[in-house]
Structure 1
Amino acid sequence: MAWFVVEQTYMPERFAEVRPRHREYLSSLVADGTVAVAGPVDGDKGGMVIYRVRDADHLQEIIDADPYHLEGAIAERTVREFKPVLGSWLAG
């Protein structure tokens, strides 16, 4: 399994309308263990999600299926692989 940090900057005129569908989508990913943590940053100008997925291709499928992406609410998105070595989220 691999970890990734995804940061997004929102399109101000789009994100509020799409947010309920985005949160519903992420909630399903929390339930299956794919999303470790998610939330807004910079006073709702953007958001950050930490994902745990099989690989980068799997992550791409997931973030491209997000309503924020599908409905044009993202101005910019960055994806970085994250290699946690300490923390309560890590098994063992």
Structure 2
Amino acid sequence: MFVVTVTYTAPLDEVDRWRPAHGEWLNRLIAERSFLVVGRQVPLVGGVYLAAGMPVDELDRLLATDPYAVRGVATHSVVEFTPLLVAPGLEHLKDG
């Protein structure tokens, strides 16, 4: 599993220009269950994704298709981790 942080590298008005395409991209990855949770950082300097277990090169390929990355308005940072403890009802997250 991965925690991905997104950091905006352009002013918000430039980021906002690509927000609809970015939202469609996120919705597709949520529907595919490649991403499990997505949200905005507070304050709004980027975002955070919780990505399902997959080979890291596959995640890198997915992140490279993010409209924010394609347009050069954000960068991604990835931390891989192994879930050991989870809240009741989320045991499936430990299975990768």
Whether these two folds match at TM > 0.5 is yes
**Number of positions where the alignment pairs a residue of Structure 1 with one of Structure 2:** 89
Report if aligned partners of 1:41, 1:48 keep a CA contact under 8 Å in 2.
yes
**Which secondary structure state, in structure 2, belongs to the residue aligned with residue 14 of structure 1?**
helix
User: TM-score scaled to structure 2, two decimals?
Assistant: 0.82
Q: More strand by proportion, 1 or 2?
A: 1
Identity %: 31
For 1:45, the equivalent position in structure 2 comes to 45
Q: What stretches of structure 1 move > 6 A for 4+ residues in a row?
A: none
Structure having greater relative contact order (Cα 8 Å, sep ≥ 6) = 1
Report if aligned partners of 2:2, 2:78 keep a CA contact under 8 Å in 1.
yes
**Which secondary structure state, in structure 1, belongs to the residue aligned with residue 68 of structure 2?**
helix
User: TM-score scaled to structure 1, two decimals?
Assistant: 0.85
For 2:23, the equivalent position in structure 1 comes to 23
Q: More helix by proportion, 1 or 2?
A: 2
Deviations along 1:11-34, whole A, 9 cap, x unmatched?
Answer: 224211111111110100101111
Larger radius of gyration: 2
Deviations along 1:48-91, whole A, 9 cap, x unmatched?
Answer: 111114210000000000101001111x4311102112224331
Q: Which runs of 5+ in 2 are unaligned?
A: none
Q: Which runs of 5+ in 1 are unaligned?
A: none
